[in-house]
Amino acid sequence: MKDNAAKLFPNPDTGAKVMEYSVAHSTPLPDWLVKYHDWGCSDTDVPNYLTSTYQAQTLIFLARMMGAKRVLEIGVYIGFSTMFWSHAVGKDGSVTGLELSDKYAGLARKACAENKIDNVDIRVGDAVKSLENLTVTEPFDLVFIDANKEAYPEYLDILLAKSQPGQANRLLRAGGLIIADNVLRSAIVADDTERNPNVAEIVGRHGATSAEELIEPLRRFNKKLLEQPRLETVLLPLFDGLGMASLKD
Ligand SMILES: C[S@@+](CC[C@H](N)C(=O)[O-])C[C@H]1O[C@@H](n2cnc3c(N)ncnc32)[C@H](O)[C@@H]1O
């Protein structure tokens, strides 16, 4: 049987070169998005929150390939991903962003205004509440989950409950895509043994009492994606782990 993990990179340097080459041979982001990402990495509270520019290139490609016009984003931060979704859906599409922090929502709105983006609507508050209260006239094509990891299972439950077949004003259309970031969380979700040095590092970084506290909600989320009969799922070990599922009716 062919090995699932192709042994492409003999060492980290070659791995980095392959990545550099792959980025250079993928449709580039517009300059204004790259500039905003640079600013986000150098001058904001938590640069680590940002998706990478290569992840942006990949997700834009995916959204356009499925013809997505309406995107819901859970976890906006300073609006980098919000703006790349806006770029992906084009002027006749729209993006709704849910963000807890008033400050980050303000930065995101400012960036949208500065870049003449007028198809983004950012709502401030806890995303569980915002999702519960969200009503739409047309369903979303794509939902990007990138907020507090402990609430991922709840976000999924609400999304599915509000996207029932035949339901008026459902949130996600049949055939719509759910993309969840960080579902492997520096590999600790798949390997929480002492062989994985990231376990101690991540627990320390998040001031968690145990690795389990960080791992359990994501394992529950990944299991729900897999076992929910209305979802067809693939977990890509790219970036920090991308959970992807399409909704069947
Ligand atoms: C990883 S960042 C999002 C990064 C953004 N998607 C990007 O790639 O540019 C996660 C965001 O989720 C927000 N967040 C955390 N808990 C939340 C909650 N309960 N409801 C809504 N947003 C939340 C944080 O304030 C933070 O801005």
Q: pLDDT value at position 9?
A: 87
Q: pLDDT value at position 1?
A: 80
Any alpha helices (H) in the chain, and if so which ranges?
Answer: 12-24, 31-43, 53-65, 80-89, 102-114, 127-133, 152-161, 198-205, 211-227
In this structure, the number of other CB atoms found within 10 A of the CB of residue 232 comes to 13
The sheet with strand 120-124 has its strands ordered as 120-124, 94-99, 70-74, 140-145, 172-180, 242-247, 231-236
Contact between 142 and 72 (Cβ < 8 Å): yes
Cα(99) to ligand 1 centroid in Å equals: 6
How many helices (H) and strands (E) the chain has is answered by 9, 7
Q: Which of 218, 206, 211, 216 is nearest to 242 (CA)?
A: 218
Nearest atom, ligand 1, residue 77 CA? 27
The finding on whether 51 has its CB within 6 A of some atom of ligand 1 is yes
Domain ranges of the chain: 12-185+215-247
Q: pLDDT value at position 106?
A: 98
The finding on whether 98 has its CB within 6 A of some atom of ligand 1 is yes
Look up tokens 């029932």; give the residue: 164
Q: pLDDT value at position 205?
A: 87
Q: pLDDT value at position 6?
A: 75
Whether ipTM exceeds 0.95: yes
Q: pLDDT value at position 249?
A: 87
Q: pLDDT value at position 4?
A: 83
The finding on whether 181 has its CB within 6 A of some atom of ligand 1 is no
| pLDDT beneath 70, residues of the chain | none
Distance CA 50, CA 37 (A): 8
Is 2.30.30.830 the CATH classification of the domain at 12-185+215-247? Answer: no
